[in-house]
Amino acid sequence: MTAGKNFLVLVKVIALYIGSIIGAGFASGQEIMQFFILHGSNGLWGAALATVLLAYLGGMTMYLSVKIRSGCYRDILSRLMTPVGRKIMDAMSLVVLLGGLCAMMAGSAAVFEEHFGLPARVGSLSIALITALVILGGLEVVLTANVFLVPVKFTVVAVISLAALRSCGGSQGGLISSAAAAGGVAGNWILAGILYVSYNIVVPLAVLSTLGRVVPLKPGVAGGVLGGLLLGAAIFLVTLAGLAHMPEAGYYQIPLLYLAESLGAGFCHAVGIIIWLAILTTAIADAHGFASRLAPACSSRYRFYGIGACLLVLPPAGFGFADMVRLLYPLFGYVGLVLTAILLSLPLVIFFRNK
């Protein structure tokens, strides 16, 4: 494979990894607030820990996927778990993917209604329609959609964070005063960093595992590692910006919107768009992960299951985004914690097997 094709593969893997994680919670700033900013200056250490874990898990997932030429996450689970454990994790992962898709539709409805002043139903229908169209195009269209959409939302998040930091005029008062902050997830920055990664790892595993038969080893692993590092950079930037604007930023449901408000109306509109794009790319990742588990990517059954998933979760999406998050996200965390523990211990298992 030529250098140009390897680079394109690298970009696609990075975009797919980032697109599967930066959803509504990340783009709104609320995830970063709960897991990192509310831990004060220690939240920066939590962000560093999350960066290392995301880079490692991304690289390890791609390494396993290419080595065993996986077509879906079940191929990886079969190598990591007992038959009973694999079946339980498989079923739970399917529930997580469907639940995530439903939550993204509910999130889109909330953005349309609260930010754009449009009917909520239009928001959920728009995500369902666009996701279904992307799934119709198969794996290549899923990859291409992320290559175009992910850089936009990543850039806007970075620009708003950097501009918010600059607006502080270099003062560290917010950062220092927030050092005594309390109320963050898990009560300490170490556990918060680990839980953040475990809570977010289910969808990337389901998505990246579908590339095992179409991606070479070196660009695949490099894409997983670089994707994790870029995600960590985004986490670090938003955490820094949030700390610099504490405690005011902590009073908002959408902290990134507060950061943008101080920079002008144009930035506020940008936040609304970026949150919606984040919802879209995550919805595509959820639908793709679900469909590719049940049928080979690009097959007619893959399209059937992907579009069927969009239709299936459309009615319950009307229950509301906040309720979805409260009900489903703890489940995501528990499932992801098991996967994270297995992937982290894998090198030791391989070492002792070889011994």
Q: Which residue has the higher pLDDT, 177 or 5?
A: 5
Query: In angstroms, rounded to a whole number, what is the distance separating the alpha carbons of residues 251 and 76?
Result: 42
The pLDDT of residue 322: 63
The pLDDT confidence band at residue 180, using thresholds 50, 70 and 90, is: very low
346/355 Cα distance (integer angstroms): 14
* pTM as predicted: 0.83
pLDDT at position 268, please?
A: 73
Whole-number pLDDT of residue 39:
86
Rounded CA-CA distance 190/345 in Å is 18
The widest CA-to-CA distance across the chain, in whole angstroms, is 63
Cα–Cα nearest to 39, from 239, 316, 223: 239
Cβ within 8 Å of residue 90, ≥6 positions away? 73, 74, 77, 293
How is residue 238 written in tokens?
């938003």
**Backbone Cα Rg of the chain:** 19
Phi then psi for 265, rounded to 5 degrees? -60, -35
The answer to whether the CB of 10 falls within 8 A of the CB of 227 is no
Per-residue DSSP letter, 168: T
pLDDT grade for 177, boundaries at 50, 70 and 90:
very low
Helix (H) or strand (E) holding 22: none
Per-residue confidence at 176, pLDDT binned at 50, 70, 90? very low
Of 52-56, 142-146, 256-260, 316-320, which one has max mean pLDDT?
Answer: 52-56
Instruction: Name the architecture of domain 25-354.
Output: Up-down Bundle (1.20)
The mean pLDDT value for 33-44 works out to 86
Calculate the alpha carbon distances from 305 to 11, 16, 158, 302 in Å: 27, 20, 35, 5
**183-238 confidence digits (pLDDT tens):** 666 678 888 888 889 888 888 888 888 888 888 989 999 999 999 999 999 999 99
Which residue in the block uniquely carries the two structure tokens 């620009």? 159
Q: CB–CB of 279/198 below 8 Å?
A: no
> Could you give the CA distance from residue 79 to residue 89 in angstroms, rounded to a whole number?
13
- CB atoms inside a 10 Å sphere around CB 221: 23
Q: Please state, for a pLDDT cut of 70, what percent of the chain lies above it.
A: 86
Alpha helices in the chain (DSSP H): 3-21, 24-28, 30-35, 42-67, 73-80, 83-114, 120-136, 139-167, 173-177, 189-200, 202-208, 217-244, 255-261, 265-294, 300-313, 321-354
Distance CA 84, CA 81 (A): 8
Q: Give the 3-state secondary structure of residue 116.
A: coil
Q: Count of alpha carbons within 13 Å of 224, Cβ hemisphere only?
A: 26
Q: Which residue has the higher pLDDT, 140 or 125?
A: 125
Every domain of the chain and the residues it spans: 25-354
Is-contact 98 313, C-beta < 8 A? yes
The span from the CA of 31 to the CA of 21, in Å, is 11
Of 97, 64, 34, 24, nearest to 335 (Cα)? 97
Q: Do residues 246 and 178 touch, judged by C-beta distance below 8 A? A: yes
Interval 163-185 mean pLDDT = 58
Single-letter amino acid code for the residue at 182: A
